[in-house]
Amino acid sequence: MKNEEIRQKALIPIVIPSYEPDDRLIELLNDLDKKEMGPVIIVNDGSAEEYDPIFKKAETIISRRSGKLISYQPNRGKGRALKTAFTYITENMPDALGCVTADSDGQHTPECITNIINKLIEKPDDLILGVRQFNKKDIPWKSWFGNTVTITVFSYVAGIKVSDTQSGLRGIPFDFMKDLINVKGERFEYEMQMLLEVSGRCGLTEIPIQTIYESKENHQTHFRPIVDSIRIYKILGKKFIKYIFASLSSFVLDIALYHLFCLLFADMFPSTSVSIADVGMGVFMATVSARVISAIYNYLINYKFVFKSRASKGASLTKYALLAIIQMCVSAGVVSLIAFLLHLETTTLVKAVVDTLLFFLSYTIQQKLVFRSSKTDTKK
C-alpha cells in the first residue's frame, strides 16, 4: 500500500502524441481515468479537421484530472509533439518527477504505463524504457525487421545495448526531459536521438511490456519504413562519422609524425639491420613519440566532440592512456615483426594497415569502457 500511496502522490504526467487517432485513444483515456491515472497531456500533431470529434472527447476525459490538449497545424512529427509536451510540463508542472510517454494506437495498456510510472518512482534518475518482446510470428514484419536491424546497428554505434529502440513507452526523469527539449529531431528519429543522449546523462532501465497489435493486416502505423528509417540511420551515422573524423584526423597526424620520427631515427636504427632488436627499437621509438602526441589530441576530441562524455576526466584519461599504451605496443610489435621478416626499408604502409585493423577494436573499447560513465549501464 505504501508504494501505491507514493505513486498517487508523485506528479508524473502521461504524454500522448497523437496524429489522426481512432477510438483506441478514447478507450485508453477512459481506462486511465477509471484507474485515476494522470494528468494526461495530449498533443494533436496537425490532424485533419475530421478528427476533431475524437479530440473533443479526449479533452473532456483528460480535463477531469487537470489534463491538457495541445493542438497545432500543420503536422510536425512525433519528435516535435513530444518536445511541445515537455515544454508545457516544465513551464506548468515544475514539481513533476518526470513524465511517461505513450502511443495513442492502443499498443500501451494502463497496466504497462503503471509499471513504467512505478519504476520511474523507484529510479527517478533513469530513463525507463518499456521493451516489447519481439516474435517474428506475432507482430508485423515491418516492426520486427526494423527493430532487429536497428537494435544491432544501435548497439555497435552507441555502445549501449537496448532491446527496443523504437518503443514509445518511456519514463523520462524531469531534468533529462528538460535537456531533451533542445535535442535535434522532429519526427520518429527523435526517439532514437533520445537514446543516444542517455549516454553520460542518466541511467537506462528496461522493463518488459506487452506487445499488442490487432493483426498484421490491420495494424496501422504512421511510421514510413523508407523515409523514417533514413532519418533514424542518419542520426546513427552522424555519431559514427564524428568518430571516424576524430580517428582519421588522429590517424593522419600519427602516421605523419611516425614518418617524421622514422627519418629522425634513421641513422640511429637502420631498418636494414640484421638484428630484430635494432629494427624494433627504431620502430618503437618512432611509434611512441608519434602516438603520445596524437593520443592526447584524440582523447580531447573524443571526450568533448564525439562521445560528449560526462565520465570523470581522471578515470577516462587513465583508461584511455592504458588503451593507447596497449594499442601502441601491439602496433609496434606487429609492425616490427613484419618489417624484420620482409626486410622492409620503410614500415609506414605496414603500420597504416595494422592500425586500421586496430581502429575497429578501439572504437568498441572506447564506447563501452573508456568514455562511458557509470550511469549509462542498462539495467533489467
* 208 DSSP β-pair partners: 131
Contact 41, 34 (CB under 8 A): no
- Kindly tell me if the per-residue pLDDT of 221 is higher than 60: no
- 314 or 222: whose pLDDT is higher? 314
Most confident of 134-148, 152-166, 322-336: 322-336
- Going by pLDDT thresholds of 50, 70 and 90, the confidence category of residue 137 is low
Handedness of CA 334, 337, 343, 346 (dihedral sign): positive
- Cell 504505463 -> residue: 113
- 207 or 264: whose pLDDT is higher? 207
Angle (CA) 335 337 340, round 5°: 105
Q: How far apart are CA 284 and CA 41, in angstroms?
A: 63
- Kindly tell me if the per-residue pLDDT of 257 is higher than 70: yes
- How many helices (DSSP H) and strands (DSSP E) are in the chain? 12, 8
Q: How far apart are CA 317 and CA 370, in angstroms?
A: 8
- Going by pLDDT thresholds of 50, 70 and 90, the confidence category of residue 218 is very low
Amino acid 12 reads: I
Amino acid 296 reads: I
pLDDT of res. 25? 95
pLDDT of res. 375? 55
Angle (CA) 149 150 155, round 5°: 105
- Kindly tell me if the per-residue pLDDT of 146 is higher than 70: no
pLDDT of res. 138? 59
> Considering only 62-71, 91-100, 151-160, which range has the smallest mean pLDDT?
151-160
- Kindly tell me if the per-residue pLDDT of 231 is higher than 70: no
* C-alpha cell belonging to residue 150: 536497428
Contacts of 294 (CB under 8 A, 6+ apart): 250, 251, 253, 254, 257
Mean pLDDT of the chain: 83
- Kindly tell me if the per-residue pLDDT of 57 is higher than 70: yes
Contacts of 35 (CB under 8 A, 6+ apart): 110, 114
Closest among 312, 314, 306 to 362, alpha carbons compared: 306
- Kindly tell me if the per-residue pLDDT of 2 is higher than 70: no
- Hey, what CATH topology would domain 2-223 get? Spore Coat Polysaccharide Biosynthesis Protein SpsA; Chain A (3.90.550)
- Kindly tell me if the per-residue pLDDT of 185 is higher than 50: yes
pLDDT of res. 217? 46
- Going by pLDDT thresholds of 50, 70 and 90, the confidence category of residue 237 is confident
pLDDT of res. 178? 96
- Kindly tell me if the per-residue pLDDT of 182 is higher than 60: yes
* C-alpha cell belonging to residue 101: 510517454
pLDDT digits (tens, 9 = 90+) for 306-346: 877 777 888 898 999 899 889 889 998 999 999 888 888 77
* C-alpha cell belonging to residue 365: 573499447
Amino acid 174 reads: F
**DSSP labels for 216-243?**
TTT------HHHHHHHHHHHHHHHHHHH
Which pTM does this prediction carry? 0.71
- Going by pLDDT thresholds of 50, 70 and 90, the confidence category of residue 274 is very low
- 288 or 26: whose pLDDT is higher? 26
Question: Domain boundaries in the chain?
Answer: 2-223, 240-379
